[in-house]
Structure formats: structure tokens, C-alpha cells
A and B are shown apart, each in its own frame.
Chain A
Amino acid sequence: MINQLGNYSLYIALLISIFVISKTSLSLRKSSITLSGNIFSLISVQSIMVIISFLTLIYAFVTSDFSNETVYNNSHTTKPLFYKISGTWGNHEGSLLLWLLVLTIFLFIFTVESKNLSQRYRTLTLFFQQIIIFGFLLFILFTSNPFSNLFPIPNEGTGLNPILQDPALAIHPPILYLGYVGTSIIFSSALAAIISGSINKSWASHIKKWVLVSWVFLSIGILLGSIWAYYELGWGGFWFWDPVENVSLMPWLCLTALLHTIFTLEKRDIFHSWAVILSITTFSLSMSGTFLVRSGILNSIHTFANDPSRGVFILCFLFILIFLSILIYFFYQKTIKENLTKPYLISKETAVLLNNLFMMFFLSVVLIGTVYPIFLEVINNEKISIGPPFYHKLLIPFLIPFLFFMAIGPNIKWINDKIGKINFTQVSIFIISIIVSYFFVKKYGVSYLLSLPLFILSIFLFFITIKDFFGKKVNISQKISHFGFSLLILSILLNGVLSKEFSSNMKVGDERKFLNKTIKFESIKVIKEQNYQSLIGEFNIKDENNSLSLKPELRIYDQPQTITSEADISSTIFSDNFLVFNVLKNDGFYNVRYQIKPFMIWIWISVILISFGGLISLKKKNV
């Protein structure tokens, strides 16, 4: 009964969507249409309907209502309450409903916060956003309805994949989706602005907020996914260039480029068309991200829901949207009033342009690496995978000049600057970086050709971004984000170079030597938890002066029957000690993996700093 409530409210939302689209489409031609109060209240009703249906689904999960097929497939009565709730979006149907929920709520927020802007622009944004909402509603209702009934009603559900029963992964999808869906507003408003001929400074300062919001959420969403992969997948890495990760990185790269472009557009009134193109691309990438992850096309190490038939719908919808936006772009392109004053070669404008060029290159590498295997399989049925070496080889050589420009770019003035005034501090910092990296590379015997310049420039950028804090007190948000980024690159580098790894098959009581440490497998104990059995291993790691005890865990779930391992990580500000173990057959051997990961915690902190910079910038100017 209550199950159907969710279903009906989605149908009401669909009707509203059709009505609003037909009403607002008038404004495509007529330029003098006003957004009546009617439409505004309809949008509120629509959001409320979607909220109701989402709450209904949560309710069905919490009460374990197995007459609902989605609940039956993804839940179980013994699951802790927290994971019953997070199970709502831990599956295909629920996650799409979450997308829709964010879509409608964001549209609602947009209509409220854009009150002072031109009516035509608002109406058109509403129109495009409703088209997206309409598409998602159709998709949910007719191909993946979360409220399908099951009869006879089963007594017990099949359970949520235990690997997803984790706090970081429970909040990862909502945060990531806030980022993804935020780009839909950027997309709609860019199209609206191009039709109403208002791609200008004031559009930039308005849409900037949405760009920042999406960018911050996307960054944090990616961070959460990485942290989860780090301790849950048991490989001790945080980024695997896995297709599922790549599809979240691509919109991020594009959004980062857009962020810089929008700032420039706001300040200098240039890059109009480019900003529109980036807005369209970012949203297309977010949509394809959802499509690729949810369709089962990606052969990834961590895809979960697989159903190719559904993919076709998103694919068609995606093509219609992209086609529509390209059409609009070319049709209305003449309304864009480009500012034809050419920027000087040495100016901040050029620096932003360079940033964008690099971002586009990084984006194309990731895109090709992700999509190429799919194409190859379709074309000649060859199955391949593309691993980290591909990305490293292509990204690192370009990362070096990128870091250099990032260090000097922000200090160049707008409009026109002189190359002559090479700064004495910058040169001395550069020399210091060379010396530091030379000794570092020599000491640790890093043998990679490009490692020396890479170290020099990341240390250079690091020092420069620190130095910038002592300069003029302007643009503090940018300084924090840029400092965060330099910290990120530096920690990833140090982490990559200094990590040590050891693995062995051990029985209880065994001892192994590794570097100057002794690893002892002391004991194992079994504990019964709510919905799983826990095997806790006790390991002791000893060197001359320290002894560290680590207790990794193996969880044996019965619903569905799966084993997951929880690494035990002891973090200090310098280094992480990471230990994970696995059961191997039933003859007493356990597969043990011990890793020393220096500066791991700084990778997380730096991403938080990057996002924090974005947050500050959002608060600073409430235009």
C-alpha cells in the first residue's frame, strides 16, 4: 500500500513535468514571458512528490518490506539500520531515484535563488532542467521502477553486497551525485543564457556558485570513494585508473577547467563560447558517467549493478541531450557577443587558457583510456584492459610543465604583464627545489627518467604556494586550493616512491622478516556480530625500538555469503602501516599483506584543502 504511494507520486511528478515543459517552451520564441507563480508552485509540488517517493523507498527499506522487489533484492532483516537506509541508494533503482531527487531539489533551489535575474533566462533554465527531469522520470518509471511489487511476498531478502556495507561508501553516492547533478543546472543555464543572449559577466557571477558547489561535492565524493577503496579493497592503493573511477575524474577535470574559465569570464568578459562548450561537456560527462557505471558496459573491478538493456535508454537520452545542445549552440551562437580585445601573451588570461589546455589533454587521455577497450570489443571482439602504465606514461610528462605554469600563473597580472620582472624569490625557490630534489632522488635511488624534473617542479610549486600565503591578502580561497593541489601531487609522489610492500602466506605463529622488521602472526579469534562473523587476526610488527600491534579483520557474511577483509591501518602524520589478511583454502594458511605507505594521510588532507578553498570562495562573494 505505502509502496504504491511512492509510485503514484512519481507519476504526479511526471505530469507536472509535461505541463511545465509545454508551458515554458513558449519562452523559446517569445522573449516576454514571465514566470508565473503557478509554475513556481508546481515545481515545489514536484520536488515534494519526489521527496515523498524517496522517503517511501527508505521506509520500505527500513521496515524490510519485501513486497517491494528492490528491497527484496538488496536488503535483509538482519542488516544494521544504517545500512538498511544506505541500501536505498546502493542499488540501480534507488540510485536513479536519488539522481532525480537531487535534480528536482536543485531546480527548486535555483528558482528560489535566481529571483533577481531576467525572467526569460530563468524560464529557459527551468525548461531545460525539466526536460532532464522528464527523461529521468521516464527512465525510472518504465525501465527501473523502484516500486515494483513482488508476489507472493518473500520472507527474507537477498541482502546487500557486504562490500558496500561501509560508512564511507554509504555516503559516497549522495555526495558524488550532488556534484554530478549540480552540473545539470550549469548545463541548463548555459543553454538558457545562450538562447536569451545573456552569456556575460553577470551570468558568470551567477553560475559560478553552481560550478563551485558541484566542484566541491564532486571532489569530496571522489575522495570518499578513494578512501573506501584504500581500506576496503585490500590493495592498499587509493587510485587504480579503474573505469569506474575514471568516469568520476573526467567531469572533475572538465569542471576544474570550467571553474577557471568562469572566473576569467566574470573578471575579464572573455571566453564566452568556451564557457558554454565546457558547460555542455561537463554535464555530458556526468551523464555518461552514470550511464557507463549503471549500464554494465564497463568491465571494471568494482561495478555492481549490471543490466545492459537499461543502458540503451540512458544512451539514447544522452545522445538526444547532446544533439539538442549542439544544435542550440550552433543556432544561437551569433547571440554570443565575444569580446574581441585580444589578451596579451603574458597575462593571467593566457595562464587560464594554458590551464584549460592541460585539463583538456588530461581529460582526453582518461577518456580514451576508458572508452577505447569498449570500442575495441564492439568492433572486433578483442578484449583488452588498459592499466596504470598507460596513464602514467601519458600524464607525467605533461604534468611537469603543468606544475611549472601552475606555480607562476597565479602571480601574473590580468590584462598585461611583463616577462622582464623575473622575481628573485622565485628563482631562489627554484634553485632550492633543484637541490632538495637532487639529494632526495640520489638518496632513495629513484631510477625513473622523469622523476627528477617531476620532483623539482612539485617541490617548487609546493614552496611557491606556501610563499603566496605571505603575499597580498587577496584570493585566499585560490591560495588554499592551489596549496592543496601541490600538497596532493607531492604526497602522491612521495607515497609512490617510498611505499614498501610485503606479502606472504602465513599460519598462526609464523614469523617473517621484512626490512628491519619482524612480522609475527600471533593469534586469531572469532567474534559473532549482528549479520556477520568476524575473524580477527593479531599481528605484531617489531623493529629495534618499536612494536606495533595490528588487528585486521575478515568478515564472513551469510546474506549473501561473502567474505570481506577489513585492513587494519595505523596512521601517523608521516606514514601509514597497512595490514590486511585473507583466507586461503582451508588448510591454515592466510595470505598476509603488509604495507608501509608514507604520507598517506596527506593525500586525504590535501583533497580536503582543495575542496575547502572552493567552499571559502563560495562564501566570500554572495553576488
Chain B
Amino acid sequence: MYGKKVKLRILFISLLLISVALSIYLILKSLEENVVYFLSPTEIRNLVEIENKKIRVGGMVKNNSIVIDSENVNFIITDFKNEINVNYSGPVPNLFEEGKGVVAEGFLKDQSFLIAEKILAKHDENYMPPEVAESLKDK
């Protein structure tokens, strides 16, 4: 019915469309799995159930809350409404200090306890992660 040329072209275009659709599907699926949500201690308190998913918690390091031994760093993140205990072992950034902003990434054990895998702090003494600034705003 159609010439060979047209058939080839249809084949080419459909192959192209399929590969584009496939890559978009792959990207979106992978996005869904690998996204890390950012929560404040208050939002964690209000969680209905605790999923076994990596999250980020942001807030201020509570004064006098850092406890250190040779393997662990324990501290409390607060947004001045609610608090969460964090246990962490590993390298700590320079600006990790009491009374300064911090973001901890890890898994929730329960609503008041986070096992952190990574701690992020900014390179600027006045800097506050935008998420922290916002969750502190409605203090």
C-alpha cells in the first residue's frame, strides 16, 4: 500500500517516539524513587505514619544539645516548636554548631528520632537554609 520509503519513515518516527516516551517514563519513575523530602520537626510530629524513606530534617541545633563520643555525634534539631533527636556518625561540616542552622539527611526511627547519614551546613555564618528560614518564620 505504502512505498518502502514511507514505511521506513513511519518505522523511524515510531521508534523515535517510543524511545522518547521510554526515557521520559524512566526519568519520572526514577524521580519518584529518589526524591528526598524536606521536613521540619513540626511536620515530622504531624506525620501519620513513618515510612522507611530517606528524608531531610532542617532546623537549628539546640543549645547545649551536642553530645560527642568517639563514634557518635548526638544532637537535637529544633524549630522552636518541636524537637527531634539526631544520632549521627561520620564527618561533620565546619559550620555545625549549637545555635546554627543545620540540615540532617537520614531515616526516621520514630517521630522523635532520626538516624542521620549526612549532615549539611552552609559555608556562610549568616546563612540559613531557605527551608529552615521558612519553618522558623511562622514561629
Contacts and interface: CB of A to CB of B under 8 A. Distances in A.
A12 interface: no
A7 B93 CA distance: 40
Interface of B: 23, 26-27, 30-31, 33-38, 56, 66, 68-73, 89-96, 98, 120, 122-126, 129-131
A503 B123 contact: no
A565 B38 CA distance: 27
A358 to B, nearest CB: 11
Contacts of A268: none
Contacts, number: 101
A589 B91 contact: no
Nearest to A394: B30
A382 interface: yes
Nearest to A384: B35
A294 to B, nearest CB: 16
B123 A163 contact: yes
A560 B124 CA distance: 9
A3 to B, nearest CB: 26
Q: Name the residue among B27, B38, B90, B120 with the largest chain A CB count within 10 angstroms.
A: B27
Interface in A378-432: 382-387, 389-390, 393-394
A510 B36 CA distance: 37
Interface string A152-190: 000000000101000000000000000000000000000
4 tightest Cβ-Cβ pairs between the two chains A and B: A383-B38, A390-B34, A593-B91, A591-B92
Contacts of A111: none
A561 B125 contact: yes
Contacts of B68: 505, 584-585, 587, 589
Interface residues of A, number: 44
Nearest to B92: A591
B27 A394 contact: yes
A157 to B, nearest CB: 15
A364 B23 contact: yes
B99 to A, nearest CB: 12
A584 B119 CA distance: 13
A562 interface: yes
A582 B66 contact: no
A390 B36 CA distance: 10
A372 to B, nearest CB: 6
Nearest to A591: B92
A503 B90 contact: yes
Contact of B94 (A161, A304, A506, A564): A564
A301 B38 contact: no
Given A582-B92, A585-B68, A585-B98, A562 B125 contact: yes
B93 A364 contact: no
A505 B30 contact: no
B8 to A, nearest CB: 10
Q: Name the residue among B72, B94, B95, B126 with the largest chain A CB count within 10 angstroms.
A: B94
A584 to B, nearest CB: 6
B118 to A, nearest CB: 9
A560 B91 CA distance: 24
Contacts of A117: none
